[in-house]
Amino acid sequence: MFDDFKDITGYDIETYFRRFVTFITDQSQNIIDYYSGLVDTLDRNSFAEYEALLAESTYVVDLFDLNNERFNTVDFWELMEWADDIGTKLETIGNFSKFARSSVKKESFDTNVSVEVATRDNETIEELVTRLGSTDRENDWVEVAINNRLEQEDYTLNGGVILSVTYKNNARFFIEGIVDNPEGDRIKGLDIDKKITFENNDLKVLSYDDTIKQSLNVLINLRKNDNPEFPQYGVDPSVIVGTNIKSIALPSVVRQIFQTFSTNDRVSKIEISSVDINGDSVSMDMNIYIKSGEEQKIVLNL
């Protein structure tokens, strides 16, 4: 079968398959360990072989397309399936940094994750780094100021100053809720519109901003038993429906809200800024802090 393929195309596909097997056995783990952050130095030979095989996989697939009329037995189609599987596995290895939630830019690995954060009113840089989880604020605020080339006249306590802040890509920042490199807006994730819509002959994919807004709105409107997989999450309707407003157990509602939002690890903190009781309704103004460094405001109506 290999010889027949070579006779028709002039290409030695058997050697290509053997190279791929050798790469998977001896070298692919080096790339996976690098993208996972387990090693600091990329094995250049392993990466060079990966790039060569990836380019060759495209060439092999093109050979099948160009010679499809000359392949008249089922053996050739089995070969094509093997070639397609190899291409898929190579692409998966190339995207492993997203599965590992590593901060990767092109061919370079960085153990740090950078996000842009807006300062709050009357917030110093020391307070900013503390809010973002720093355990060494005395040194971290200096690093932030230097990295942003911040001069004294550029910084005020009026808030709204956009600063680039770097996190270590450690377990504290590992985000289960996304399959991507945790950088900037990517931390918010991407999702399809909950109202199934087709756009450009495919399912409509929301932007990063719209994705996080949709996710937060789903959580804020979730009621117990709405999600059959996790029926315990959401606000219990029994504490709301048919209950006098004055007798609503607000502490229980707040606890249920906090428990529900804890399921989304893109959220770093939530605050209830105000509670308004008006006639037969209750509304809560909530501030939701995202690990990308921004704040979302949501109103919960009961």
* Residue among 182, 30, 164 nearest 101 (CA): 182
pLDDT tens digit sequence for 189-231:
888 888 888 888 888 888 888 888 888 888 888 888 888 888 8
pTM over 0.95: no
Question: Cα(210)–Cα(199) distance, rounded to whole angstroms?
Answer: 16
At residue 283, the 3 state secondary structure works out as strand
Q: Are strands 202-203 and 295-301 parallel, antiparallel or unpaired?
A: unpaired
The third-level CATH classification (topology) of the domain covering 209-301 is: Nuclear Transport Factor 2; Chain: A, (3.10.450)
Task: Count the helix, strand and coil residues of the chain and give each as a percent rounded to the nearest 5.
Answer: 45, 20, 35
Q: Cα-flanking dihedrals φ and ψ of residue 96, to 5°?
A: -65, -25
Element housing 267 (H / E): strand 267-278
Neighbours of 281 (CB within 10 A): 10
Q: Are strands 267-278 and 202-203 parallel, antiparallel or unpaired?
A: unpaired
Share of the chain above pLDDT 70, in %: 74
More confident residue, 263 or 57: 57
Question: Cα(130)–Cα(133) distance, rounded to whole angstroms?
Answer: 5
Q: Cα-flanking dihedrals φ and ψ of residue 167, to 5°?
A: -105, 150
Least confident span in 82-91, 96-105, 180-189: 96-105
Question: Cα(167)–Cα(175) distance, rounded to whole angstroms?
Answer: 13
pLDDT tens digit sequence for 210-219:
888 888 888 8
Neighbours of 106 (CB within 10 A): 5
Rg (CA), the chain: 26
At residue 103, the 3 state secondary structure works out as strand
Share of the chain above pLDDT 90, in %: 5
- Tokens 């790469």 locate to 23
Mean pLDDT of 139-148: 73
pLDDT tens digit sequence for 57-98:
988 888 888 877 777 777 778 888 888 999 899 988 887 777
At residue 122, the 3 state secondary structure works out as coil
